[in-house]
Amino acid sequence: MRLAEVPLAAGGDEAPDASRLDWSALWTACRMRWTRRRLLFRAFRKRGQLTCMADRTGLIRKGDVLCFSTVRNEAERLPFFLDHHRALGVTHFLFVDNDSDDGSRALLAAQPDVSLWWTGHSYRLSRFGMDWLTWLMLRYGHGHWCLTLDADELFIYPHHDSRPLPALTAWLDAQGRTSFGAVMLDLYPKGPVADRTCRPGQNPLEVIDWFDAGNIVTKYQPPLKNLLVRGGVRRRVFFAAERERSPTLSKTPLIRWRRNYVYVSSTHSALPTQLNRVRGRAAGDAPSGALLHTKFLPSIVAKSREEKRRREHFANCALYEDYYDALIGNPDLWCPDSTRYEGWRQLEALGIMSRGGWD
């Protein structure tokens, strides 16, 4: 089923008609406004947790597409991550390094198109890095198209192999669109996840090139006017018994940023709520992309041991003990229904992404 065609929950996602506004709708709008202000204030307070290691923001020019990311111990992924997004048209990267000890900080500080901040404070208590990034976007992202990613996400969109990212953002500007949605696609190998090797800087798709093409469900989130997408291999393997706990796959990673904008939960949702109209009926004929999720590289087993100990990646870490234990056990995520990744046209045919009017 195409994601754009999935029916929404009762009530739909259309903007409420002014003649039918009730006190509940007004209260929700007020609550979202105060949520946005509270999160912006949080980011302002957390700015003191950041120490600048390399400031090249003076190189940022009007019209540049910027990329923001919080990382920890990602030296394995960062060279390809940078090359991939440079090739798309990202001009400047703004990173927060959360106390890496694998050389990530030195690697990033040496890049001529990277500005870098360091912090040793809690990732979890900073809203999983979003407080830090919100401050940087408030200060440097205003007026720019901003791509907000994790280091294990590779952004792709229709025609990304022939049309640069500035061409897409120019088209979005012409259409009056201020945000662009994507679905996270969990990639994994055939066989136990740790039984292959991946060299630093290697294209991860040479190591993990399978995904779950079906197993997709959606849920409408009325206060944020956001259509959430869940599914994929993590739902099938790790959360089959408790599917509501499975990770959300829908994100809005690309936004023409303004100082009063804020992400609410990672990049799954944002405020003001019109930024979330990137999928479903309210989005109209909107194009969408994918985030190739390279979480399941061979290093996942060692990383899971560390993250289970650190307890920094989930709000209620105890609920995810079994998840980490399963990853530590070096699972084989492949099944006879797995699909081999072939490119963006394949994902469009499967309904995972859409060209919309971007043709």
- Residue 358 tokens read as 């971007």
* pLDDT confidence of residue 313: 65
Q: Which of 194, 183, 300, 303 is nearest to 247 (CA)?
A: 183
What DSSP line would sit under 223-248, residue for residue? Answer: GGTEEEEEEHHHHHHTSSS-GGGSPB
Q: Is the dihedral of CA 187, 169, 218, 161 positive or negative?
A: negative
Q: What's the DSSP call for residue 339?
A: E
- Residue 331 tokens read as 């699972």
CA–centroid distance for 253 within its chain:
5
Contacts of 212 (CB under 8 A, 6+ apart): 186, 231, 232, 233, 236, 337, 338, 339
- Nearest-angstrom CA–CA distance, 343 and 232: 17
- Nearest-angstrom CA–CA distance, 233 and 296: 11
- Nearest-angstrom CA–CA distance, 326 and 331: 7
54 has which bridge partners?
Answer: 116
Bridge-based pairing of strands 262-265 and 153-156 is unpaired
Bridge-based pairing of strands 339-340 and 288-293 is unpaired
Bridge-based pairing of strands 179-186 and 288-293 is parallel
290 has which bridge partners?
Answer: 156, 183
User: Phi and psi dihedrals of 70, rounded to 5?
Assistant: -105, 130
**Cα dihedral 192/195/199/204 (nearest 10):** -20
Q: Is the dihedral of CA 108, 110, 113, 118 positive or negative?
A: positive
343 by Cβ neighbours in 10 Å (0-12 / 13-18 / 19+) ranks as: exposed
Give kind and range of the element (H or E) at residue 305: helix 300-310
Q: Which of 334, 355, 35, 28 is nearest to 187 (CA)?
A: 334
- Nearest-angstrom CA–CA distance, 288 and 142: 23
Q: pLDDT (tens digit, 0 to 9) for every residue of the chain, 359 residues total?
A: 344 333 323 333 444 445 455 777 888 889 999 999 999 999 999 999 999 999 999 999 999 999 999 999 999 999 999 999 999 999 999 999 999 999 999 999 999 999 999 999 999 999 999 999 999 999 999 999 999 999 999 999 999 999 999 999 999 999 999 999 999 999 999 999 999 999 999 999 999 999 999 888 899 999 999 999 999 999 999 988 887 888 999 999 999 999 999 999 899 999 999 999 999 888 888 999 999 999 999 999 999 998 888 876 665 555 578 888 999 999 999 999 999 999 999 999 999 999 999 98
* pLDDT confidence of residue 290: 98
Q: Which of 134, 184, 188, 179 is nearest to 155 (CA)?
A: 184
- Nearest-angstrom CA–CA distance, 124 and 350: 35
- Nearest-angstrom CA–CA distance, 158 and 288: 8
* pLDDT confidence of residue 309: 84
